[in-house]
Amino acid sequence: MTLSAERIVLGVSGGIAAYKAPDLVRRLREAGAEVRVVLTQGARAFVGPLTFQAVSHQPVHTDLLDPAAEAGMGHLELARWADRVVIAPATADCLARLAAGLADDLLTTLCLATEAPITVCPAMNHVMWRAAATQDNLATLVQRGIDVIGPEEGSLAEGESGPGRLTEPAEVVRRLIAAPAAPRTAGHAPKSGPLAGRHVLITAGPTREAIDAVRFIANRSSGRMGFALAAAAQASGARVTLIAGPSTEPTPTNVERIDVETALEMHAATLARASASDLFIAAAAVADYRVADPVTHKLKNSREQQTLALVANPDILRDVAALPNGPFTLGFAAETEALEEHARHKLTAKGLDMIAANRVGDGMGFEVADNTLHVLWPDGAVTLGPATKGQIAHDLLTIAGEQLDGAG
Ligand code: CTP
């Protein structure tokens, strides 16, 4: 498949990765697309319009109120001309401006004025990428139906390492070809089912806590239970947001997925959305501790004994349960012994509405497809399984849905 005859507006915003954008133009054209480039003022500080003109074989658009450009192809014509708008690189500022709906330059105006699908390829410093403001802006854009490609992990321009690299142009083109331009559908609105009209927020998978540039502390969680719950909630009619730690599980259809890495990122992404949700399911295996002082370079092997200082991570589930007017909270408890006793203690101690306890160790729980869950709530209990995680997820949501309806 190719991008044959597809008309693409490529927006370039002002980050160091802008130097890769001419290569992206070349590859888009090789794949058959017709490309018109829009540069922000910031982008022009990195790469000049003449370069883009040479590779796109088209005039380059830079200003909103340039009489000459408006006489050629004005901003509204450009917005209508596009089959798809791709922004690469999309800086933190660019994402913020899109999320806020600003229209004070050509690129933001065009994005507001177009009905074409929009794909953003973020690239920025890793701290800026992880900032709660950036993640919130991204979630807003995803909710509005904007597609996101990247960023990738790796070394960044400043000599640091982390998520923030622009996805390589060849990969961007491959992903665009794999996801044909389709109209934007914001919100994946629920249709029918026991959870119709409900917004379900789920955490899933492990978290990773950096030790140095290449090493981290993680756990054996596959994310399978949380992903199965997301699919089951979606099938029950809910609008589902899945906040996922690193997991190879595929994203369930019509589920909004937000990828995070650390417990702090998962905490920020969850708390930003919890009040707006009806049911919160904490299926993630969140690291209870993080390294107090991770280093940004790779630690050398000194052959000497090492001690890692750890500090406690916030408890996401506890913080959601403590929200005034927060959602119905369903937590998980992975226990090796005294399962019901420990689970009931967590139910009370964390102020939850429901808890699902499973036994771990001896090959049970993590990384296995079959499961048994002991579900407890203040005045009831039931055992589910053994069954597949898909079946368990469905049954658990049915019980949670009943209690949620009972709670009003
Ligand atoms: N959880 C969370 N944030 C954390 C730690 C845990 O949201 N920082 C959630 C998990 O997703 C799970 C529940 O809390 O739903 C129980 O986690 P668990 O690790 O079993 O409980 P702890 O409170 O950490 O107790 P312990 O490890 O001592 O059993």
Residue 268 in 3-state DSSP? helix
pLDDT band at 79 (very low <50, low <70, confident <90, very high): very high
Residue 2 lies in a domain: no
Same domain, 381 and 256: yes
> Which residues are registered as beta bridge partners of 342?
none
Residue 234 sits in a domain of what CATH number?
3.40.50.10300
pLDDT averaged over every residue in the chain: 89
Residue 191 lies in a domain: no
d(CA 391, CA 228): 9
Q: Which atom of ligand 1 is nearest to the CA of 287?
A: 8
Residue 189 lies in a domain: no
d(CA 320, CA 7): 45
Same domain, 140 and 223: no
Q: Which atom of ligand 1 is nearest to the CA of 346?
A: 23
Same domain, 363 and 290: yes
Residue matched to tokens 């940004």:
296
Which amino acid makes up residue 295? V
Same domain, 152 and 276: no
Residue 187 lies in a domain: no
Residue ID of nearest Cα to ligand 1 atom 18: 333
Same domain, 333 and 395: yes
- Name the catalytic one among 125, 219, 358, 371: 219
pLDDT 10s digits, 267-303: 999 999 999 899 999 999 999 999 999 999 999 998 9
Residue 148 in 3-state DSSP? strand
Q: Which two tokens stand for residue 328?
A: 């119905």
Site residues for ligand 1, CB cut-off 6 Å: 203, 263, 282, 284, 286, 288, 313, 315-317, 331-334, 346
Phi-psi region of 237 (alpha: psi -120 to 50; beta: other; left: phi over 0): left
What's the pLDDT at 108? 96
Same domain, 139 and 265: no
pLDDT 10s digits, 345-369: 999 999 999 999 988 776 554 555 4
Residue 219 CA to ligand 1 centre (angstroms)? 13
Examine the fold and report which residue of 147, 178, 209 is the final residue of a domain before the chain moves on.
178
Residue 56 lies in a domain: yes
Residue 309 lies in a domain: yes
Same domain, 298 and 172: no
Residue 1 lies in a domain: no
Examine the fold and report which residue of 178, 213, 244 is the final residue of a domain before the chain moves on.
178
pLDDT band at 370 (very low <50, low <70, confident <90, very high): low
Residue 325 CA to ligand 1 centre (angstroms)? 22
Is the pTM higher than 0.75? The answer reads no
Contact present, 56 and 29 (Cβ < 8 Å): yes
Residue 332 CA to ligand 1 centre (angstroms)? 7
Average pLDDT of span 223-232: 93
pLDDT 10s digits, 187-226: 444 446 788 889 999 999 999 999 999 999 999 899 999 9
Average pLDDT of span 119-146: 88
Average pLDDT of span 378-401: 90
Question: Which mutation among 290, 317, 341, 366 tests ligand 1's pocket best, with the greatest number of atoms within 8 A of CB?
Answer: 317
Residue matched to tokens 């997925």:
257
Residue 43 sits in a domain of what CATH number?
3.40.50.1950
C-alpha closest to that of 134 among 80, 188, 92, 91:
92
Contact present, 253 and 204 (Cβ < 8 Å): no
Q: Which two tokens stand for residue 276?
A: 């707006």
What is 152-212 written as a DSSP string?
A: EEEE-TTS-EEEEEPPPHHHHHHHHHHS-------TT---SSTTTT-EEEEEESB--EESS
Same domain, 257 and 360: yes
Total domains, the chain: 2
Residue ID of nearest Cα to ligand 1 atom 14: 317
Sign of CA dihedral 120, 122, 128, 131: positive
Count of C-beta atoms within a 10 Å radius of residue 341: 11
Q: Which atom of ligand 1 is nearest to the CA of 263?
A: 8
Same domain, 92 and 128: yes
Q: Which atom of ligand 1 is nearest to the CA of 355?
A: 15
* 308-315, Cβ contacts within 8 angstroms, sequence gap of 24 or more: 308/211, 312/288, 313/207, 313/209, 313/263, 313/264, 313/267, 313/286, 313/287, 313/288, 313/289, 314/263, 314/264, 314/267, 315/286, 315/350
Examine the fold and report which residue of 115, 148, 178 is the final residue of a domain before the chain moves on.
178
What's the pLDDT at 405? 83
Same domain, 128 and 232: no
pLDDT band at 341 (very low <50, low <70, confident <90, very high): very high
pLDDT band at 155 (very low <50, low <70, confident <90, very high): confident
Same domain, 80 and 119: yes
Question: Which mutation among 220, 264, 289, 315 tests ligand 1's pocket best, with the greatest number of atoms within 8 A of CB?
Answer: 315
Residue 286 CA to ligand 1 centre (angstroms)? 7
Sequence-distant (6+) residues with CB within 8 A of 174 are: none
Average pLDDT of span 254-266: 92
Average pLDDT of span 242-259: 90
Range of the domain at 128: 7-178
- 358 noted as active-site residue: no
What's the pLDDT at 138? 86
Same domain, 274 and 374: yes
Residue ID of nearest Cα to ligand 1 atom 27: 288
CA 48 to each of CA 14, 37, 38, 51, 54: distance values in angstroms, whole numbers, following the listed order: 11, 11, 11, 6, 11
Residue 126 lies in a domain: yes
pLDDT of residue 140 exceeding 80: yes
d(CA 150, CA 210): 20
